[in-house]
A and B are shown apart, each in its own frame.
Chain A
Amino acid sequence: MTKAQFDELIHPSTRLSLVATLAAADWAEFAFLKDRLQLSDSALSKQLTTLEEAGYVATERRLSGSRRKVRARLTSAGRDAFNGHIEALRAIVADAAAPAQEPPA
């Protein structure tokens, strides 16, 4: 079972969407991520670099015809961090939904 662990690095909305997209895929190309997340080249590069430096994402450059394409994938550390973060978010929501405990008399 995944341990709930809030992750400050993943939590910002753009980065969360990026990591969630990568978590649902084995790998994704830069162009796909750019389209889906509606980010500019530089904004996506910046987010990927941040995640790569944390060891959450790995990128590889491949030659496709005459064009160089970048693929990104989540590392196992990134996947663990994402799953832990989702569990932490669920715990926050569940705690809020749970009925308040009666204080002992």
Chain B
Amino acid sequence: MDNQFLVTSSPHVRSEFRIERIMLDVVIALIPALIAGTIFFGIRALMLTIISVATAVLTEYVIEVLTHKEITIDDFSAVVTGMLVAFNVPPTVPWWIPAVGSFFAIAIVKMCFGGIGNNFVNPALAARAFLLASWPVQMTTWTTPGAVDGVSSATPLAILKGSEAVGAQLPSLWSMFVGNIGGTIGETSALALLIGAAYLLYRRVINLRIPLSFIITVGVITWIFGPNGLFTGQFMYHILGGGLILGAFFMATDYPTSPVTPLGQIIMGIGCGLLTSVIRLWGGYPEGVSYSILIMNMVTPLIDRYTMPKVFGTGEVKKVA
């Protein structure tokens, strides 16, 4: 018997969790929403997503080659970022908008801070904010599904806010749930997003702390502060409309930019919910999900610091019976 044994530190077995598998799961979970977006907005939605993903992956690869860093595109996180950037733009934008967005997300937000795990805000959302500030017209031109060429329309939240032409009709809740409404490529179908979210929960990629506290907070606040006095809000429209489902399950849960402590995750969700509601009800935008997540991203280190879990055995000592 020879003595060629490997000597390492314990433990000697590992779980099946691998970061590349987790990121692949996120990609898989986003596919129903991509299919829904393609059905409602046409093949253009799919093309924009492909352009966005390709730009994201290529940008990461080129930067890593140029800076002589380890190539990390095999962890699929750039694919996820690319998909999320595309999901956050309207289906009518010119093709270069998601490309610029993905380049910005990877080159500026992710790589400048040292790659995965070090960026302090969600790259896709930072890209959305950047695009919105730079090309406001293109980024807020909405169409109703099936009418991509030209006819612009209002999103349900804009109608709710009354900032669009008088007479615009709110779509039925069912249309909103299925996704037959105006909006960005990825946020249109709550149903498709929830299917993906269920998959992520089943695979234990995410837990419910952030999404649930986020959605419940938005629901409660928008219900209480309704347009016709207290407790008259159409909270279901707020939950199903806009990017809430997409944001709550797929972006607020982004690992590097959300808290790691259980309590911190709930605070993150509630914080996002409060900010979203405030922006939607009293702010200048009909939307609010992206900005609130970005703001909470920035206080994440602080939340982690102040929500350290109570270490086993540091509480009150239970007296011997």
A and B bind: no
Partner-B contacts on A (CB < 8 A)? none
